């Protein structure tokens, strides 16, 4: 896997890491920071649906993968609209974990790429979920 994928993946963690740190250091308002955190989380979650949309399109599959590709966007949006606080953080965290597990068993790639991608996603998802937990604990 080219290094650019890893660099961009880890760079995408910056808002997840910085927002809880700024809140914990009392450098920003929790209410507004929480809103920014969950909005960013929902956007990144939607990105994972796009990966499956493209994979289904590229391999001409109209099966569960095509429909599951829509779930991250819908879960993220419905969560933002109807949920609040720690429940929202929990739903988003579970959705990230669910997409990681779904990726592992569904994406069509060469075996070596699947392993590299899964290792990267496992690291990124672990950090994302821990940051969601941090936001819940800070509240």
List the pLDDT tens digit at each of the 139 positions of the chain.
789 999 999 999 999 999 999 999 999 999 999 999 999 999 999 999 998 898 888 888 778 888 899 999 999 999 999 999 999 999 999 999 999 999 888 887 777 787 888 899 999 999 999 999 999 999 8
pLDDT at 63: 82
pLDDT at 111: 74
Please state the pTM of the whole predicted model: 0.93
Q: Using CB atoms within 10 Å of the CB of residue 51, give its burial: 0 to 12 exposed, 13 to 18 middle, 19+ buried.
A: middle
Hey, what long-range contacts does 2-11 have (CB within 8 A, 24 or more apart)? 5/120, 6/120, 9/120, 9/124, 10/124
pLDDT at 17: 98
pLDDT at 106: 84
pLDDT at 58: 86
pLDDT at 60: 81
pLDDT at 130: 98
């Amino acid at each position: 896997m080219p290094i650019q994928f890893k660099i961009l993946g880890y760079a995408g963690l910056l808002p997840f890491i910085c927002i809880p740190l700024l809140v914990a250091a009392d450098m920003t308002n929790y209410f507004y920071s929480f809103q920014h955190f969950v909005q960013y989380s929902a956007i990144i979650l939607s990105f994972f649906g796009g990966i499956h949309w493209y994979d289904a399109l590229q391999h001409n599959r109209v099966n569960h993968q095509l429909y599951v590709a829509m779930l991250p966007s819908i879960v993220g949006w419905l969560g933002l609209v109807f949920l609040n606080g720690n429940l929202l953080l929990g739903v988003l965290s579970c959705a990230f974990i669910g997409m990681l597990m779904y990726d592992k068993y569904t994406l069509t790639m060469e075996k070596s790429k699947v392993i590299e991608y899964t290792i990267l996603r496992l690291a990124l998802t672990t950090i994302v979920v821990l940051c969601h937990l941090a936001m819940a604990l800070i509240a």
